[in-house]
Amino acid sequence: MSTSIIGAPVTRVDGRAKVTGAAQYAVDHSPSNVAFGYPVWSTIGNGRIANIDTSAAERMPGVLAVLHHGNADPLFRPAERFEPYSRAGEVRPPFEDDQVYYYGQYVALVVANTFEQAQAAASAVRVEYQPRPSVVTLAAAPAPQQPPLLHYLRGNAVQAFDRAPVRIDQTYEIPTETHNPMELHATTAVWDGDRLTLYESSQGVVNHQHVMSEMMGIPVDRVTVLSPYIGSGFGGKLFPWPHSMLAAMAARRVQRPVKVQVPRDLMFTTVGHRPLTHQHVRIGATQDGKLLSIEHDVQQPTSLVDTFVENCIGVTSMLYSCPNVGTQQQLIPMNIGTPTPMRGPGIVSGLFPLESALDELAVQLKMDPLDLRLKNYAEQDESYDPPRPFSSKRLRECYQAGAEKWGWSRRTPQVGSMRRGNEIVGWGMATATWHAGRGSATVRVRLNADGTARASCATQDIGTGTYTVFAQVVAEKTGIPIDKIEVVLGDSSLPDGPTSGGSTATATVLPAVDQATQGAIGRVIAVAQQTPGSPFYPGDHAQTAGDPPKLAMTAGRIHLADRPPESGVPFGEIIAGARLAALDAEARTAPDPRDEHRYSSHSFGAQFIEVTWDPGIARLRVSRGLTVIDAGRIINQKTGRNQILGAVVMGIGMGIFEETLYDPRNAKPLNNNYSDYLVATNADVPDLDCIFVEYPDLHLNEYGARGIGEIGLAGVAPALTAAVYHATGVRVRRLPVRVENLMAGSQQKIA
């Protein structure tokens, strides 16, 4: 039974609630008698707190408490090294001691009757520090003592490079980028005796529940995390950050619900970021463009309290066919807040230098950059020994479909050779990839006597369309209209569901929704067969006699499997006829561990960017973009396309705007607001298009669907800088591209 609803451009089922304001976000919850917490944060980058004077703050109107390391309840560290579901953004509990590791670390929390009272009193807290020198740049950091944290080698890349007739040897840099979801991080904490409920903005309610249980030191079944709507996270809301513990701690202290919203400026220090990366790439090739060697060395800062790895070298060893590959990555602790995944972590950062170096190689070889990719196409994943087949790879079709739709054959290779009026047009392309993952999930589906259905799971919809794909699967299996299907997510007390991260949620939940729906249908059929009075009760009624008849559910009706649905009865009548309110079923699904060792699973794509450069007024614009994606089967053309186009918009930001600028003395973010930290807005976004090359990846799940939340960002920045080179002849190796890089005679320096 297959209907067209899987793959159809179904409008998101939570859309109406969001656009009408009915959707309640974390900060919208105002339990009665709620109090407000406002933080005080460190103004040094390194050192210790010598003294905190809270006396003036405590005398101010409405103040209930001022918490800090001297009077806070002890918290605990999460057991993340020992438990799968226990990852915090920062393992150090807030107020653990008097140490300061980075600018913007919480040093106190003022709790007051109103937000304004708390904010005013926070400014009256006097903190004296004993500062130590801060290390806030890679250049100032001591040389790392440990061996590289990540490394990979096949063949002899150094020797092959030395002998290669054509060589590229360049250094690239991506600055710190900060997640800027519209919705601020926020927690509303409510205690009821020893039970804790948190209204959160979380990409993983189950993980959040476990971390809070561990850090607060209370049993996990006494913690409930609710996150039904998220105003985007981009990775910044994957793991709990200290404000969540502070809200819970403060609510316990003042015996009232407490709401803590992280101000926008603190979202640049205490809730993660994409770490800056300094990346050295060397490529050796033959005169006709066959790769002989790839070397990729990365330096990445982490904080002093956590080891966060931004794996930039993960796909360098698999994206192209090449006999000699050597990669390594070194972590360098600095006085910054802990980095965290930001859309496409590692791969997005690693592809910028790799794909840029390939474009530089194409220029040096006078070869078309797309032809260079085809010449080095990887038919298997060569990072394994022996090489492993891909579960499904249609990258060649992506290149071809993209080139055709774009009109790539009209590209003339000479720098500045394509013009439109006063403007110079540049075209660039790059490969995109993202690893395809799937985890385990439990889903409950309930079929109600009133003809409606309900599906529930402790996962969440971060804006990607998770609510909608749940409804689509239930609708497809049962024939119940979408608007009669309720989907309940974002509640840790529901059956165990996955974190929304790594573009894995859809691939993870689809099989569980499918099986739970089939389980619920099976229960209705059993009731139809076994309930006296049912039209399908053997011997009782006209339709059948003897053995239980073989029944099916189609278009919301239970019917004889060999008769059309119209001959049957609505499923609700079967349930009501047995005097039941509903029938439900639960299913838990997990990937086949054998497949993980048989296949390499990745999504792929080809991305094309056009820029226009007007040298007369020094104006650079991104003027066109096309992305072709092979992510298996697309479950929803509308939300899927929305994911890809949104990621390309983010890539435009990465390419020409985004950079968190720090004061070099203490790593204070200088552009910590929406007017100084630029992201792409509508005016910066040209006509963007997206094509899906759909080949179901049935090794990953029976729907053949891989994730699509991140891959759309993967190749945008290198395609954009390739286009900038094509237009201007300036190779930008440090993001973002700035107009001053492109002024005549400018030479870019990498710090």
Question: What residue ranges bind ligand MOS (CB under 6 A)?
Answer: 203, 233-235, 238, 341-343, 345, 501-502
CB of 222 to ligand MOS, least distance (A): 28
The one-letter amino acid at 30: S
Residue 382 C-alpha from the chain's centroid: 27
Nearer to ligand MOS, 273 or 444 (CB): 273
Q: How far are the Cα atoms of 151, 174, 217, 345, 360 from residue 314, in angstroms, in the given order?
A: 9, 17, 36, 11, 21
Q: Are strands 291-302 and 324-333 parallel, antiparallel or unpaired?
A: parallel
The secondary structure of 32-99, three-state, reads CCCEEEEEEECCCCCEEEEEEECHHHHCCCCEEEEEECCCCCCCCCCCCCCCCCCCCCCCCCCCCCCE
CB of 658 to ligand MOS, least distance (A): 15
Nearer to ligand MOS, 209 or 500 (CB): 500
How many CB atoms are closer than 10 A to CB 219? 10
Q: Is 95 left (phi over 0), alpha (psi -120 to 50) or beta?
A: left
Are 524 and 583 contacting, i.e. CB atoms less than 8 angstroms apart?
A: yes
Write out the two tokens for 672: 């910590």
Alpha carbons 91 and 87: distance in angstroms, whole number: 8
- Residue 704, SS3 per DSSP: coil
Alpha carbons 296 and 316: distance in angstroms, whole number: 7
Closest among 170, 196, 198, 201 to 184, alpha carbons compared: 201
CB of 71 to ligand MOS, least distance (A): 36
- Spatial neighbors of 24 by CB under 8 A, at least 6 apart, are 228, 229
Are 114 and 57 contacting, i.e. CB atoms less than 8 angstroms apart?
A: no
Alpha carbons 501 and 239: distance in angstroms, whole number: 10
Write out the two tokens for 314: 């993960």
Nearer to ligand MOS, 93 or 463 (CB): 463
- Spatial neighbors of 728 by CB under 8 A, at least 6 apart, are 415, 416, 424, 426, 613, 615, 742
Q: Is the peptide bond before 386 cis (omega within 30 degrees of 0)?
A: yes
Per DSSP (E only), the strands in 318-439 are 324-333, 418-420, 423-435
Alpha carbons 729 and 141: distance in angstroms, whole number: 34
Alpha carbons 625 and 406: distance in angstroms, whole number: 9
CB of 106 to ligand MOS, least distance (A): 23
Are 654 and 713 contacting, i.e. CB atoms less than 8 angstroms apart?
A: yes
CB of 342 to ligand MOS, least distance (A): 6
Nearer to ligand MOS, 707 or 718 (CB): 707
Write out the two tokens for 716: 């945008």
Nearer to ligand MOS, 348 or 569 (CB): 348
Closest among 269, 275, 381 to 330, alpha carbons compared: 275
CB of 490 to ligand MOS, least distance (A): 15
Are 731 and 721 contacting, i.e. CB atoms less than 8 angstroms apart?
A: yes
Nearer to ligand MOS, 14 or 310 (CB): 310
How many CB atoms are closer than 10 A to CB 682? 6
CB of 439 to ligand MOS, least distance (A): 12
Sheet of 150-154, strand order: 150-154, 324-333, 291-302, 277-285, 166-174
Nearer to ligand MOS, 329 or 500 (CB): 500
Residue 690 C-alpha from the chain's centroid: 19
In the complex, which residue's CB is closest to ligand MOS? 235
Count each helix (H run) and each strand (E run) in the chain, helices first: 17, 27
CB of 99 to ligand MOS, least distance (A): 29
Nearer to ligand MOS, 502 or 572 (CB): 502
CB of 605 to ligand MOS, least distance (A): 17
Alpha carbons 538 and 583: distance in angstroms, whole number: 21
Nearer to ligand MOS, 335 or 340 (CB): 340
Nearer to ligand MOS, 343 or 726 (CB): 343
User: 310, 360, 382, 710: which is the annotated catalytic residue?
Assistant: 710
Q: Active-site residue 710, yes or no?
A: yes
Alpha carbons 652 and 736: distance in angstroms, whole number: 9
Nearer to ligand MOS, 12 or 273 (CB): 273
- Which single residue is written with the structure tokens 């004889």? 560
Write out the two tokens for 626: 């096309």
CB of 236 to ligand MOS, least distance (A): 8
Q: Is the peptide bond before 142 cis (omega within 30 degrees of 0)?
A: no
Nearer to ligand MOS, 231 or 565 (CB): 231
CB of 343 to ligand MOS, least distance (A): 5
Alpha carbons 415 and 159: distance in angstroms, whole number: 33
Nearer to ligand MOS, 482 or 645 (CB): 645
CB of 203 to ligand MOS, least distance (A): 6
Are 269 and 105 contacting, i.e. CB atoms less than 8 angstroms apart?
A: yes
Phi, psi of 740 (to 5 degrees): -65, -25
CB of 265 to ligand MOS, least distance (A): 22
Closest among 196, 177, 203 to 87, alpha carbons compared: 203
Report, as residue numbers or ranges, the catalytic residues. 710
